[in-house]
Amino acid sequence: MSILLAGGVAGAYIAGIVGLHRLNVRRMRAAAGGFAPLRWLDWDCLLAGLAPASPPASFAPALTVHGGGPSPLLLSQPAPPGAEDRHALLRAVAAGQQVDEATLGAAGFSGGQAKWLTTVSLIASDPDRAIERLLATGVSSAAELYLRERLLLTHRTHALNLELSVFATKRRLGQGLARFGEEPALFFVRAMASSLLGFNHAAIDDLARAVYFSQQAAFYLRAVVETPYIDEARPALARQCRLMLYPSPKVE
């Protein structure tokens, strides 16, 4: 009887600790307002090296991308002559449309490129299949690691595995940063992982690293500027990013 009583007391104690921890997580996440921009997809990272060079000082129609956030810079200009099909397919993928390898191959994408874009195009329509493809082949680039971990956090992380999933993701991202270097997209998704546990200051630190190592790319600047909590928690960072994103005109 005493063993059962002791077990019951221990179970109640553990449940209480977990309950208090989860209440604190909810409180910290609520205080930060959810870090909504951390759910954006960095399409410039996912499509890097695949878009044909465009004529300078020209602009393509605005593109609404899957996942929200700004349109990728590499698709902000129209396709050069002869690359219209490639450009159109990349815009379709970024908009969340699924494409197959045969269609991509016909547009001139190589075998490896076509396989990668097929996986990327599953993000909206079949994210579980995209995850399985990434898990089956392993990762050979920062973009693949970024996408895999982002999808795992979004689609395979829930109340029962929250802590285990987040800490496993952060461990793999740490290994990825050692392997691939200080890639801004990896800091960005690590910030997302931290935000899920209410580690708000760790999330801001990694978002600031993403800004720095991207050389102040507009995507990451906007992620800072459009997170109201950073104005309160790190006003200097918010102000600096706002100035870089929207520089004041010079006064003659």
pLDDT digits (tens, 9 = 90+) for 83-116: 888 988 999 999 999 999 999 998 889 889 999 9
Q: Is residue 91 part of a domain?
A: yes
Query: Residue 129 carries which side chain, given as an amino acid letter?
Result: R
- Which of 168, 150, 203 is CA-nearest to residue 40? 150
Q: Is residue 17 part of a domain?
A: no
pLDDT digits (tens, 9 = 90+) for 126-139: 999 999 999 998 89
Q: Is residue 171 part of a domain?
A: yes
Domain that holds residue 102: 33-245
Q: Give 15's pLDDT tier (boundaries 50, 70, 90).
A: very low
- Sorted by sequence, the CB contacts under 8 Å of residue 69 that are 6+ apart come out as 37, 40, 41, 219, 222, 223
Q: Is residue 203 part of a domain?
A: yes
Alpha-carbon span 68 to 75, nearest angstrom: 15
User: Could you give the maximum distance between any two Cα atoms of the chain, in Å?
Assistant: 86
Domains in the chain, number: 1
Q: Is residue 3 part of a domain?
A: no
Q: Is residue 2 part of a domain?
A: no
Q: Is residue 100 part of a domain?
A: yes
Q: Is residue 177 part of a domain?
A: yes
Q: Give 13's pLDDT tier (boundaries 50, 70, 90).
A: very low
